[in-house]
Amino acid sequence: MSKSAVNISYAQSLLWVALFMAVMCGVINIVHLLFVDFVHGNPHRTQGNALSMMVEFTLILGVIAVIGTFLVFALPQFFQAALIGALGQIFGDRAQFAALLALPLTAVITWYCYDYLTPTDFNLGINVDPDWTPFKHGLSVSRYITTLIIQTPITLFSFLYFNAGLRDRSKKPVLLAALAVTVVVGGIWGYTTARDQYQFL
């Protein structure tokens, strides 16, 4: 197990994660619009407009998702790859499990990449919250748990992707399983946001 092989595998898995994030955002958008505009009926928007939004917003959200994925998860992926590469000289193939064991620390790195590298804390001039404070950073228990929940499937996917390559097995089952999970989660998320939107129609 060479360091270059580890780095290549984790770089490839990051590209796949970015693609899956784009797919998830697209599914969320399509399912949301499908339920709001076609199942429930939205009196404030024509179905033709909803169809165009399915196409246009899906592309826009996909690009944003890819950029966001690289900003948030590139450093954690690099950390995991570097850790496996360093320990590989001592533990051999068993070093791949270091990515799973280091997951709590990886989640901290992920949070700070999200907190400091993405424009998630800004005011558009319409925020009426009197307690709003710009650039209010910090890792709380709830934020850490949320980040850990998000980072866990990504770490697991990268681990399984690397393991398949290490054992010369096909990566298709890992990719298809990840795609299925992506579509299911995106569908549930889109339906949930649509249900929340019903009260405003």
Measured torsion, CA atoms of residues 72, 78, 83, 86, in degrees rounded to the nearest 10: -170
Average pLDDT, the chain: 89
Separation of alpha carbons 147 and 70, rounded Å: 16
Looking at the chain, how many residues does it have?
201
**Residue 9 confidence (pLDDT):** 95
Checking if the pLDDT of 134 tops 70, the result is: no
**Residue 129 confidence (pLDDT):** 54
Q: List, for residues 136-154, the tens digit of each pLDDT value.
A: 667 888 889 999 999 999 9
Amino acid at 144: Y
Mean pLDDT within 55-68: 94
- Exposure string (b/e) for 103-125, b if CB count within 10 Å is 16 or more? beebbebbbbbbbeeeeeeeeee
Q: List, for residues 158-179, the tens digit of each pLDDT value.
A: 999 999 999 999 999 999 999 9
**Residue 188 confidence (pLDDT):** 96
Separation of alpha carbons 14 and 136, rounded Å: 28
Q: Which residues contact 150 (CB under 8 A, 6 or more apart)?
A: 110
Percent of the chain's residues with pLDDT above 70: 90
Question: Whole-prediction pTM value?
Answer: 0.88
Checking if the pLDDT of 135 tops 70, the result is: no
CB of 35 within 8 A of CB of 195? yes
More confident residue, 50 or 124: 50
**Residue 122 confidence (pLDDT):** 55
Q: List, for residues 74-132, the tens digit of each pLDDT value.
A: 999 999 999 999 999 899 999 999 999 999 999 999 999 998 888 765 554 545 555 55
Checking if the pLDDT of 66 tops 90, the result is: yes
Checking if the pLDDT of 187 tops 70, the result is: yes
More confident residue, 48 or 191: 191
**Residue 46 confidence (pLDDT):** 83
